[in-house]
Amino acid sequence: ELVEEVMQQLAEDFQYGVMQSTHRYKYLINRLTRVSKKAIWTLVEHIKSGEFVTYGHEVAFGEGYGVPAIAIELEDGEVIYIEGRIDRVDILREEKDNYLKIIDYKSGNKKFNLSDVYYGFQLQLMVYLEAAMALKDKFKENNNHPAGVFYFKIHDPMIKTSHKAIELIEKEINKELKMRGLVVKDLRIIKAIDKGIDKNSDIIPVAINKDESIGKRSSVATEEDFQRLIDHIKNLIKEIGKEMLKGNATIEPCKRGKQISCQYCDYLGICQFDSVFEDNKYKVIKELKPEEVLERIRKEGVRNEELDEGSKGGNRGTKQ
């Protein structure tokens, strides 16, 4: 009833009531109302199925907000400040620890891909997580930990099935509305997100075996790997910022298998990219499996630790 009331008011207010001027627009409003109802009902069921509570919606971070901007210092002393707005932050409060869950709403077919995160094509969720971790100032001495980062697609899926039982159809719909993302590899936290998990979760991309171990096809990472991913992404942003400040505008579209970034570019007519020209080359991206990504960031973490230790050792030698 609330959704219908809100959507009706929006339809009346939008562009002086244009959404009520034709049958086509009226149908569109009815469809948007139906999709909104299904999405909100599903989100409510997700919350009821877990122990997390919503900390906030549209949580802004940046200058002038309660959550500070993410500051990334470049080698030459320049500082990049990243600001944004997180669709939703959920929290599980414990005696000395808080676990944070990031949710970003999508209307398109956005799927979480750890390989894309590694290469910098999907920075959003991990940047949001890094920003949310700064919420610790609001929770006294509690330590913040990642619980997971997710995309939630807002739609009303159609199911093709021969089943007529409403319960089975609803279960298939819920599978389509399952959140996509990355979950911390901790059975206790997984069950705090989905208390009723049985084999495959209908809420998050996780499966549980009979012996209570986490299934191999689950999209999970340890807390340490979450931090390594954040560190990796901050290094990517540092490199992007450095190239931007240099004014580097090299024509180098990414190519992943048959997918080429030029397909979605509005500026193809301006850059006139053509691989027959000597300086026009694709940046070929090799798709990585999730375990390959995690292995790479672990090696990066070890190298960074060794560099830090070497730097400290060098400083101690100079001081002596």
pLDDT computed for residue 181 by the predictor? 96
Contact criterion met (CB below 8 Å) for 17 and 11: yes
pLDDT mean across residues, the chain: 87
The tens digit of pLDDT for each residue in 107-134 reads 877 889 999 999 999 999 999 999 998 8
Rounded-to-integer distance, Cα 182 and Cα 162, Å: 33
State whether the Cα torsion 4-175-167-51 is positive or negative: negative
Residue 246 is classified by DSSP as H
Local confidence band at 274 (pLDDT 50, 70, 90 cut-offs) = confident
Sheet arrangement for strand 283-284:
259-260, 254-256, 283-284
Where residue 135 falls among pLDDT bands split at 50, 70, 90? confident
Beta strand 53-61 pairing with 70-73: unpaired
What percent of the chain stands above pLDDT 90?
52
Q: Can you give the pLDDT at residue 280?
A: 86
Q: What is the pTM of this model?
A: 0.85
What's the mean pLDDT in 1-9?
Answer: 92
The first and second tokens of residue 158, run together, are 């159609």
pLDDT in tens, 100-111: 999 999 987 788
Sign of CA dihedral 178, 58, 68, 79: positive
Residues contacting 302, CB < 8 A, separation 6+: none
Tally helices (H) and strands (E) across the chain.
9, 11
Q: How far lies 254's CA from each of 82, 138, 248, 286, in Å?
A: 24, 41, 16, 10
